[in-house]
Structure formats: C-alpha cells, structure tokens
Amino acid sequence: MDFNQFVDEVKGGIKQFLPIEYEDAQVRIEEIKKLNENYLGITVLKENQVIAPTFNLNQLYEMYQSNPEVSMESIMKNITGVMLDSPKQFDLKNITEYENAKDKLFIRVSSAERNQEILQKVPHQIKEDLAITYHLAISVDDIGRGSTTITNDMLTHYGISEKQLHADAMKNSPKIMPLYVDAMKNIIAQIIVGEDKPVMQDKDLKDMKEVISEGLKEGEPMFVITNQQTMDGASAIFYPEVMKQLGECFQGDFFILPSSIHETIVLPDKGDFDYLSLKSMVQEININQVLKEEQLTSDVYHYDAKQRVFERADKFEKRQKVIQMNKNEKVGREQKMEHPKPKKHDMEL
C-alpha cells in the first residue's frame, strides 16, 4: 500500500470507528506547516465543533510500514481513542482567555533559517540563528504532549505585548517541561543497553551543580541539557538562569552544541577544544544520525560567563581578537607616551 492509498483508506474508514454522533462529521485532509516539518494531517470535526486534534498521516504511515504489528485497525482505534478523549481534557477557555492560557505557556527553539515562513505568522525572539517560539500545552503525559502554537492573531486577541508573552512563557516553561541534566556517558550507556529514550529522573535546576561536579570529577567533559520529557528539550538551555548556573558549574565559559531540537550538549571551554572541530562534529552528526526534521543548526555556540553573553562561537572568537587587539594598541600607546629620562652627565667644577 502506497501513501496515497493509505490516506484514502484512513479518510474513508475513520467514521466506522466513531460513535453515531460523528455520522455527519467533516473529515479534513490538509497540509500542515509546523516548525521543522510539514506533513499531511487528518482532522475530524463534528458540526459546531471549533477545534479537534490533527493527526500526522506521514508519521502514521511510517509506523504502518515499519512495524508489522501495526495494522490499519490499530491505527484507526488509536486515532478515535485520542479524538474521543480530547474533549474531556480540553477546555476552549484554556486557549481563548489569556489568564487561563498563560500558565500553560512554554517555549520551543528551532532554526530561524529553515522556518522563515512560519516565523512571519508567530511571535518569536531570535537568538543568533535560533528562533524561540511560544506554545500552549494542552496536555502533557508519558505518551506525549498536545500543544498549539501562539500566532500573531492570538497575541492580538490576548491584548498583551510580546514582552509579556515571553516573560510568562519563560516563567512557566521550567514547570511544564522541567529541566534535566545528565552526563553524556550516562545517556550513551542507557542507549547501549537498549533504551530508545533515556529515563529522565526527577532532576531540576538545583541538581545541576551536583550532576556536573560528579561528572567533571570522573573526567566527563560533556553534559546533555534537555527536559524530563526529552521532547523539544533544546529550549531548556534558554530557561532563566540556566546558562548562568552552567557558567558557575564550569567555573568559566562553555560551548553549546545543538545536538537536535530535543537536546543540547554543553562542555567547558578550557582551551581543549577548537570551535571549528566542534562544528565539524555537529555537521557530521546532523548528516548521519539526526532526522532532518529534528535538526536544529550546524553551528556551535559559546557562553561568555563573565560578560553573560550567548553567541555563535565564531563571533566569540572574533570578539576576543578585537579585545586583544585593542589591548595591544593601548599598551603600545602607553609605551610611546613614556618619555626617556634625561641622562645624568658628569660635571667638573
């Protein structure tokens, strides 16, 4: 069965798995453009229903093709189960009224270059070549997360500024998607023993110093920054005070590698690593190990702990060269300004 046949079968058969009240429901198949990915989605709307979950048909087809245990019937039952359960979890006021919505705000980070079209329609902040966008968590559980993206129209409806939106999202993100930090070797060990996703323990910002201190003592230079759900966890590096705390843990500057949209890797800048070699490593990993829709960027970033500046590593290096050049010029000027002392001459009387 090819993808088009799969789509037709889901569209034509989904109502057979739904209660009688869905008999006259509208089944929509449309292209969905989201951050980092486009896909064909299916939505089933009853009469007078304003909002309903949209299912990624490309993802469902991939599951159907790759796993012999996944049948068309199981896919249909999965879709209808979520559809019938979502009204119980969802209250429209959680989206339309800002006082209810603001406590459900969280941030995501993505490539600004690859998401230019989407970014024109949504409030966002640019951090170098990364874009921070704002989202509402409709539901968060062990299986996944239902969410919606804040658009410019929604911001206008709320009657608030982007500054207020950003402040509320930054405040609530660590509560909705709590920070998780672990040594890289622990993550790798969990993958080797067969865990598809590392099990995130209940660690938050207050545990960061302990995790990094233990890792450094054991000779581990790399640490993973994500959230406990390990989903869109690259944004956790931008949580309030996280970079400042990391600078304190490393007792100085550090590099930030964009592993994927789900996590970043940090390592101290002690002169052991050249940013070009780190960038080459990120590029290679993106090509060979990270799905295109999950790639963040191929750049390497740097945090100046003294100046509290987040920037691309190449910009940091250029800035340091300028600073050093200015110092050299200053020293040179000071040396020129020192007039030689007059020599003493012997005088005979």
Q: Which residue has the tokens 């970033």?
A: 301
Q: Strand, helix or coil at 130?
A: strand
Contacts of 73 (CB under 8 A, 6+ apart): none
Beta-carbon count within 10 A of 323 CB = 10
What is the chain's percent helix, strand, coil content, to nearest 5? 45, 25, 30
How much is the pLDDT for 299? 93
Average pLDDT per 10 consecutive residues for the chain, totaling 349 residues: 91 90 89 80 82 84 86 89 69 78 93 91 95 84 65 93 96 93 81 52 64 89 91 94 94 94 93 88 89 89 95 91 77 60 43
Calpha distance 110→67 (Å, rounded): 30
CB 105 within 8 A of CB 169: yes
Q: Phi and psi of 241, rounded to 5°?
A: 70, 0
CB 200 within 8 A of CB 229: yes
Residue among 246, 225, 222 at smallest CA distance from 234? 225
How much is the pLDDT for 91? 62
Cα torsion through 224, 229, 235, 236, rounded to 10: -60
Contacts of 153 (CB under 8 A, 6+ apart): none
How much is the pLDDT for 88? 54
For the chain, where are the E strands, in sequence order?
26-34, 37-45, 54-56, 105-111, 124-127, 130-140, 145-149, 179-183, 223-227, 254-260, 263-268, 301-304, 309-312
First to last CA, the chain: 117
Calpha distance 225→208 (Å, rounded): 10
Calpha distance 272→217 (Å, rounded): 17
